[in-house]
Each structure stands twice: as C-alpha cells, then as structure tokens.
Amino acid sequence: MNALVKFVDAMEILDSRGNPTLRVGVMLGDGTVGVASVPSGASTGRFEARELRDGDSSRYGGKGVRQAISNVVQLIGPRLHGQDVSRQAEIDQLLVHLDGTPDRSRLGANAIVGVSMAVARAAAAAAGLPLYAHLGGPAACRLPVPMMNVINGGGHADNTLDFQEFMIVPHGAPSFAEALRYGVETFHALKAILKSRGFRTAVGDEGGFAPDLGSNEEACELIVDAIRSTGLEPGTDVSLALDPAASAFAVGGRYDLVRSGGGPKTASQLTELYRSWAHAYPIVSIEDGLGDQDWEGFREHTDMLGADLQIVGDDLYVTNTQFLARGIKERATNAALIKLNQIGTVTETEEAIAMCRSAGWNYVISHRSGETEDTFIADFAVAMGGGQIKTGSLCRSERIAKYNRLLEIERELGPRASYVSPFNSPRRGSLRS
Ligand code: PGA
Ligand code: ZN
C-alpha cells in the first residue's frame, strides 16, 4: 500500500450562506484521493481558531479564501509530500507547527482543518474503509441521537427570538432511521401549526423556522404542540434542547433579551428562567445558556441544573483542551460541543473528546451554521461513539446530507448498529423538583 501524499490541492467553493470556503484534495502516490470541504460559523466563540479571509473588498465582500488556498497549495502541500496519511497525529502536528500561532491565524484554521479532514479521508480510502470505521475502528457502531434545530433565532435569523436554537431530540426512537422520521414529522407538523397561527414559515441559516414569536418561551410551546400533533409523546419519544448562544446577548455582565422585549437579566435570573422552562417542557440539554466569559455564572448554572440536564459548553470551550480542562475542574458544565474547525485538526478534536470521556462528560459532534454538502461529521460522530450529533433542521441539503449519510451508515452496519439514548426517559418537565 502506498499511502504517501503526492500533492495537496484546494479550490474556492461556496458554503450554504453563499460565502466562499475551501475544498481540499489530498492525492496519494497510488492515485487515491481524499476530499473535504470546510464549514464556517456565524456565532463564533471569542477564542476559536481563526479562519483566514482575503479582506479584498473587490471579491465576495472581502470574504474570499484565495490566500488560504495558496497556503494549502504552496506551503502545506510541499511539506506533506511523502507523508504517510495513516499517521494522522504526526501530520496534524506538522500542520500546527507549520502555522506556529496559537489561533491558526497564519495559515488559517480553514486551510488547516480542510487539509486535516482530507488526510483522514485519503487514509480511509487507502485502507479501503469507510471513514467512520477508519477513525473509530471496529467498535464504531453507535449512531448518534440528533439535536435538530427546528426554530432559529439569534445570530442565525432576523426575527424576534433572542435564543439561537430550539431543537428537538428524538431520543426515544428505536433506530436512527426512525429518529429521523420522528424529527421530520415533527418539523412538518410545526410548519402546519405556525401557518395555522399566522406565523411565517421562512427558514433561518440552519433550516429551522424563523417566526416572529411573542416570546422565546412560545417556541417551546409550539414545538411541544408539534410533537403531540404527530402522535409522538413529548419527553418519551422526542424532547427539547436549547442553544441560546448567550454570548450574543451578553452586555456588561448582563443578558439583554432585546429582540423579544424580555429586558436585561443577571446570570442567576437567566438560569432561573431556564429552570422554570425545564419544569414546564421536556428539555434534556441546554448549550451556552450563559456567555463565554461568564465562568462564575456557569458554575452556579450547572450547580442548579446539571443534575437533571445536560449542560453543554460551546463558545466556552471552543473544542480547546485548555478551556475544557478549566471547565472540568470548575464544573462549569457537564458536557461539551465539539467542532473540528474551532480547533483546527482532527487529532486535536479527538484530544478534546478524550478529555470529555475521561471526565465522564457527554460530547456532541456539531456542524457550523455555514455548511457544505460535506458529510465528514456524520462519520466522525459514529467513529467517536459519543451518541450525539447536532446538524441542523430537517430541510436544506447541507443539513440533510449529514442525515442521509447517517442513514447509509446505519444500513451498512446492519444488526451491529445501535441507537441508544444518552438521556433518561421519560421526561415531562425535566426537573425532578
Ligand atoms: P455557529 O453556531 O456555527 O454559527 O457558530 C452554531 C452553534 O452556536 O452551535
Ligand atoms: Zn452553540
């Protein structure tokens, strides 16, 4: 087997928001190719790895990625020539050293993550394995429970909702395929309910509806109604998850619910609000319920909610083991969101996951709001075995591509496939007291 890199190529393509991004190809000596496309966030964490954009206002409003592409072709490619793609960790370390900055700003996190993912794909192809089996080994049989973002607000939509994501979690299904059906049927029921109540059914960046509701809470009510109207049981078959992405409305130590007219709140008041919702609705998980600077608020938040709910840090950790180590020590949350492009390489992402595992934390493999048709994270979620993925709503092909890939994987695994809920069930209001 000749799994040595011959050359690395990259081209400028578009993401789901119509912004430029990279597609990277790693070619091996025997003609094997690994290709990967790079996603891009909108509500990015303060400390996440930096994507490189050209800043040339004559092209794509400055968002072109020609410099990042040149870095892949001119700088990274020659250094990877002759490297064995089965040695992912060594290649990733080489990429990190070649960049030399803590935030990947020299070569660009978008350039680096594209190469790292394409190397993994090339290695899988060279080994004659599907990506999930190459990265996860023969034990990789667990299909993830999806968190499906059916109502969009905050930085992903132009509406009255302060909170960014209201998600459904079909954890009570017997298989991934059935979970997907539960999600889709709930999504369509939600559309009918919104229509019948005079709300618009246009969708936001991740394919969830983006109505101008009277309050953030109304989103939870509507979703529970939608689950019920399909004949499914809220809390048993399908529960709710939130990603308020609170960094976006954190101002001067407060949280200002400007869009919905909810007014300013302290961290404690916001945590109290989540607590009251968790009594009223079957919520299983809250991500970034507070801002990424608010470590103190998070400790109290997790202390109050963490025994009953999955409390996920996204902007707080940015898939970075430095921040994760602090979060574990301080019990800031009890779970983490995992995004490859927040840190930059496959290996560093796996290190963040290993840290979660050894702390006994849940972790959720996640897409970005700007996505492509690339399905890397579907395989990655199965490979890592954490049993959760967040990859958007039930429309828009860049989201559906990941679900369709998971259907393929489940089919391929046949009787070896498992679909296990990471949550206790049933739930009515989630909190015990
Ligand atoms: P982003 O948002 O991809 O726009 O950063 C996703 C999230 O906050 O989980
Ligand atoms: Zn988030």
CA distances from 281 to 181, 224, 260, 330, 428 (A): 22, 8, 20, 28, 6
Structural domain tally of the chain? 2
Testing ligand 1's pocket by substitution, the residue of 21, 338, 368 carrying the most ligand atoms inside 8 A of its CB is: 368
Whether residues 150 and 115 fall in one domain? no
Contact yes or no for 65/12 (Cβ under 8 A): yes
Asked whether residue 330 falls in the same domain as residue 238, the answer is yes
Q: Is residue 299 included in any domain, yes or no?
A: yes
Residue 113's CB is within 10 A of a number of other CB atoms, namely 31
- 114 and 233, same domain (yes or no): no
User: 95 and 222: one domain?
Assistant: no
What are the tokens at 139?
Answer: 């034990």
> Are residues 219 and 213 in contact, defined by beta-carbon separation less than 8 angstroms?
yes
For 334, list phi and psi in degrees, rounded to 5. -130, 15
For residue range 186-240, what is the model confidence (pLDDT) as tens digits?
Answer: 999 999 999 999 999 999 999 999 999 999 999 999 999 999 999 999 999 999 9
Q: Which residues are catalytic?
A: 206, 339
Are 269 and 344 within one domain?
A: yes
Q: Is 137 among the domain residues?
A: no
User: Which protein residues have a CB closer than 5 Å to ligand 2 (ion)?
Assistant: 243, 288, 314
Is the peptide bond between 415 and the residue preceding it cis, with omega within 30 degrees of 0? no
- The best mutation among 369, 372, 402 to test binding of ligand 1, ranked by most ligand atoms within 8 Å of the C-beta, falls on 369
Residues 249, 395 share a domain? yes
Quick one: 100 and 246 in the same domain? no
Provide the domain limits for residue 39: 5-128
Residues 181 and 320 in one domain: yes
Confidence of residue 433 (pLDDT cuts 50, 70, 90): very low
Q: Are residues 62 and 187 in the same domain?
A: no
Residue 195 amino acid letter? K
- For residues 111 and 191, membership in a common domain is answered with no
Greater model confidence, 213 or 426: 213
State both tokens at 90: 């060594």
CATH code of the domain in which 380 resides: 3.20.20.120
The C-alpha atoms of residue 390 and residue 354 are separated, in whole angstroms, by: 19
Beta bridge mates, 10: 24
Global pTM value: 0.97
Tokens representing 255 are 């949280």
pLDDT at 426 over 90: no
Burial class of residue 252 (count of CB atoms within 10 Å of its CB; 0-12, 13-18, 19+):
exposed
Do 210 and 100 lie in a common domain? Answer: no
Q: Is the CB of 205 under 6 A from ligand 1?
A: no
Residue 309 in any domain: the answer is: yes
Q: What is the mean pLDDT of the chain?
A: 96
**Is residue 94 located within the same domain as residue 151?**
no
